[in-house]
Chain A
């Protein structure tokens, strides 16, 4: 069992938890992920590592409530335990030799972008962080990003916080104003990453995208997480989760990501009903 030692609600649907998992914390690096199961009937879901504390032996996860498992997870509290928590899986973000990087995060993806920005910042790299959200209420990790970057740009769809517009608008204006990046790292919803990659391709800036497809084991066994990158089939769990964004077939990844949409909606509703019953 893996104990929840901290729970913090970051916005109405996004929650942060510190989980006691010393072996995972000891090896974790930014860019890697874990797989968890809340209970015996639970699904295995991958979540990218948001932070870790090797001394305390904890791993931080930040998740958005989107389905049955995250709904169940959201109802757990400090002191409760997860049934399974395994990792760190996948390859760590490549940071060697990077001097100036734009980290572009969208929504809950910012939670995953943050440890990458922090690591680069600590290595002495000039980090420009661009974080996009739908609106003011959904903004997360603003201070954390400010502390881990030389420049922080906040974008919202409705202009209720930061500047109004998309992350691609902000990235484009930074590039056009003369900023020269060794690399762009993008983490967020698939359509956002697709458009970030299309933009940087025009400018010829190397771009890495962090993928979060459906998977079961996370060790290369099921092949459910396969993607097409540069015309070749790869497994996000062992070959990634980060890939050259200019080579990823995003349309295929988007199609594959909604395979279970109908069932997931049903299971999520069931989970919600279950909790309503318990509250009563």
Chain B
């Protein structure tokens, strides 16, 4: 008998007034009882709309059925056939636009909490499974992977399981890509990312940090001097965008990338870290995506009063619903339908050497109204006449999205890219150069962990086919 409750089992969380004082994970996860009870809300529909909504086609009703039976490890194995990073995706996927957005239970009431169940199953496995993965039999072929974010990790995992000797090249000193430098500890504990990376190493994957492909080594060298037969580019979209308004280079204006990297990768919030972070009293985060929410919530935890400034309305915020809800609970103030036009500098005319000179004194903004829908289908924000005002802030974080890093394109002859930098690939992830594949944000521009992971898997299959067919031709 299914559980006909109209609402999800509530996720236990740290109380807002407590969690704004620490960086520990906000959502604490279901208990076994809560998970089983929630799993029973699934109606096991014949036409599985949830699966259609999943970018990697996880067999959702099947794994949920196992959860309902209390067979959590079996549920994990079902997820694992389609996803390499369940503990990560259960936490960071925008489920409301994917699986849960299509769930029949959502028509009247709330959808089944698919994301929470995925997380539960993955955490259960990580906690209880001590079995080490078997080292696959090596097939003697070598593949290089550039970047250790979600795309690279999933591509590496699939190839290693098929017997390939895989080397991941990472530019930073810690593997994980955006999972490490971008997403904060309170949303995705780094121990979980580390567990995934340890799992890859156990499969025999080699990870070389501190190597910038395009600088330290080139793709051509990997293929022609180092003996790799194929390369997968999963270098992400790391280049931050700025608005191009006056005052953007003042002291106290940061890209979300810089702010989050200082906190997440460099642990600037910890006393023992040498990396400094400039903390304002009042901070404006410009933008409305997940990265904006992450920045705002990090700033809040460092003790600031925080505004999220977004040019469209609350309804249009591109961030996950849960992040917005959590941000509101944490006391973050949303100034929607507001757009910055200038960042105002502090200037002491009597003392040119005043260290406060050229730091942020405020942010000039205009109010917006929503007009006709634009190309993206969202209503276009239009400036409201005479609405100019200044917000009193001393720090501004620009979170306007990112674009692919041009380092690889500029050092790889014949690699075709879009005008905005995205690497051009076919359906299998093949670029304009033989043996070179790409996927994730490096191809799409900033998107989601799950899409990057899916692209990594697709490319892994294509690389396998490519190398095997070359081998056959050779024989």
Nearest chain B CB to A2's CB is how many angstroms away? 8
By the criterion CB–CB under 8 Å, are B407 and A219 in contact?
yes
- List which A20-61 residues lie within 8 A (CB) of chain B: 23-24, 27, 37, 41-44
By the criterion CB–CB under 8 Å, are A267 and B242 in contact?
no
CA distance A87 to B216 in the complex (A): 6
By the criterion CB–CB under 8 Å, are B251 and A261 in contact?
no
Residue of B whose beta carbon sits closest to that of A238 = B407
Contacts of B173 in A (CB 8 A): 37, 44, 83-84, 86
B262 on the A face (CB < 8 A): yes
Nearest chain A CB to B383's CB is how many angstroms away? 24
By the criterion CB–CB under 8 Å, are B255 and A222 in contact?
yes
Contacts of B250 in A (CB 8 A): 255
Candidates A37, A220, A252; contact of B407 at CB < 8 Å: A220
Residue of B whose beta carbon sits closest to that of A259 = B251
By the criterion CB–CB under 8 Å, are B274 and A222 in contact?
no
- List which B221-264 residues lie within 8 A (CB) of chain A: 238-240, 242, 244, 248-252, 254-255, 257-258, 261-262
By the criterion CB–CB under 8 Å, are A41 and B216 in contact?
no
B93 on the A face (CB < 8 A): no
Query: What interface size band does chain A fall in?
Result: 35 or more
By the criterion CB–CB under 8 Å, are A41 and B215 in contact?
no
B273 on the A face (CB < 8 A): yes
Nearest chain A CB to B454's CB is how many angstroms away? 24
- Given A217-B172, A224-B258, A23 and B239 touching (CB < 8 A)? no
By the criterion CB–CB under 8 Å, are A223 and B216 in contact?
no
Nearest chain A CB to B241's CB is how many angstroms away? 9
B204-212, B286-294, B321-329 - the one binding chain A:
B204-212
- List which B63-108 residues lie within 8 A (CB) of chain A: none
Residue of A whose beta carbon sits closest to that of B265 = A216
By the criterion CB–CB under 8 Å, are A256 and B240 in contact?
no
By the criterion CB–CB under 8 Å, are B274 and A41 in contact?
yes
B357 on the A face (CB < 8 A): yes
Contacts of B370 in A (CB 8 A): none
| Residues of chain B at interface, number, CB under 8 A | 44
- List which B333-376 residues lie within 8 A (CB) of chain A: 355, 357-359
By the criterion CB–CB under 8 Å, are A220 and B239 in contact?
yes
Residue of B whose beta carbon sits closest to that of A271 = B274
Nearest chain A CB to B429's CB is how many angstroms away? 23
Contact indicator per residue, chain A 56-96, by CB within 8 Å of chain B (1) or not (0): 00000000000011001000000000011111110000000
CA distance A43 to B265 in the complex (A): 10
Residue of B whose beta carbon sits closest to that of A261 = B355
A221 on the B face (CB < 8 A): yes
Nearest chain B CB to A198's CB is how many angstroms away? 17
CA distance A67 to B308 in the complex (A): 34
Nearest chain B CB to A99's CB is how many angstroms away? 29
Candidates B211, B262, B265, B405; contact of A23 at CB < 8 Å: B211
By the criterion CB–CB under 8 Å, are A88 and B274 in contact?
no
- List which A214-247 residues lie within 8 A (CB) of chain B: 216-224, 226-228, 233, 238
Contacts of B14 in A (CB 8 A): none
CA distance A264 to B268 in the complex (A): 12
By the criterion CB–CB under 8 Å, are B274 and A68 in contact?
yes
By the criterion CB–CB under 8 Å, are A222 and B257 in contact?
yes
- Given A219-B212, A252-B358, A228 and B274 touching (CB < 8 A)? no
By the criterion CB–CB under 8 Å, are A217 and B261 in contact?
yes
- Given A84-B209, A233-B242, A267-B276, A256 and B249 touching (CB < 8 A)? yes
A173 on the B face (CB < 8 A): no
CA distance A88 to B216 in the complex (A): 6
By the criterion CB–CB under 8 Å, are A84 and B266 in contact?
no
By the criterion CB–CB under 8 Å, are B257 and A221 in contact?
yes
- Given A84-B210, A86-B211, A222 and B258 touching (CB < 8 A)? yes
Candidates A68, A217, A228; contact of B249 at CB < 8 Å: A228
By the criterion CB–CB under 8 Å, are A263 and B240 in contact?
no
CA distance A68 to B276 in the complex (A): 11
By the criterion CB–CB under 8 Å, are A221 and B239 in contact?
yes
By the criterion CB–CB under 8 Å, are B254 and A224 in contact?
yes
Contact indicator per residue, chain B 265-289, by CB within 8 Å of chain A (1) or not (0): 1110000111111100000000000
Candidates A27, A42, A216, A218; contact of B262 at CB < 8 Å: A216
Nearest chain A CB to B118's CB is how many angstroms away? 29
B217 on the A face (CB < 8 A): yes
Nearest chain A CB to B381's CB is how many angstroms away? 24
CA distance A271 to B216 in the complex (A): 32
Residue of A whose beta carbon sits closest to that of B272 = A41
CA distance A69 to B273 in the complex (A): 11
CA distance A90 to B102 in the complex (A): 47
- Given A43-B266, A221-B238, A223-B242, A216 and B216 touching (CB < 8 A)? no
By the criterion CB–CB under 8 Å, are B216 and A86 in contact?
yes
Most buried by A among B173, B239, B242, B357: B173
Contacts of B258 in A (CB 8 A): 216, 222-224
Residue of B whose beta carbon sits closest to that of A86 = B210
By the criterion CB–CB under 8 Å, are B276 and A220 in contact?
no
Contacts of B273 in A (CB 8 A): 41, 43
Contacts of A223 in B (CB 8 A): 240, 242, 254-255, 257-258
- Given A221-B238, A221-B239, A255 and B357 touching (CB < 8 A)? yes
CA distance A41 to B269 in the complex (A): 12
Contacts of A226 in B (CB 8 A): 249
CA distance A255 to B353 in the complex (A): 10
A160 on the B face (CB < 8 A): no
Residue of B whose beta carbon sits closest to that of A235 = B239
A258 on the B face (CB < 8 A): yes
By the criterion CB–CB under 8 Å, are A221 and B215 in contact?
no
By the criterion CB–CB under 8 Å, are A24 and B216 in contact?
yes
Nearest chain A CB to B285's CB is how many angstroms away? 15
Candidates B251, B272, B405; contact of A255 at CB < 8 Å: B251
| 19 extra interface residue pairs, beta carbon distance < 8 Å, beyond A27-B215, A219-B212, A263-B277 | A23-B211, A37-B173, A41-B272, A41-B273, A44-B275, A69-B274, A86-B171, A86-B173, A87-B216, A217-B238, A220-B405, A221-B240, A222-B257, A223-B242, A223-B255, A223-B257, A226-B249, A255-B357, A271-B274
Can you name 9 A-B pairs with beta carbons within 8 Å?
A: A23-B216, A41-B272, A86-B171, A219-B212, A220-B406, A221-B181, A221-B239, A222-B258, A233-B244
- Please give me the 9 A-B residue pairs with the lowest Cβ-Cβ distance, nearest first: A255-B358, A222-B258, A263-B276, A221-B238, A223-B255, A43-B274, A86-B210, A260-B276, A84-B173
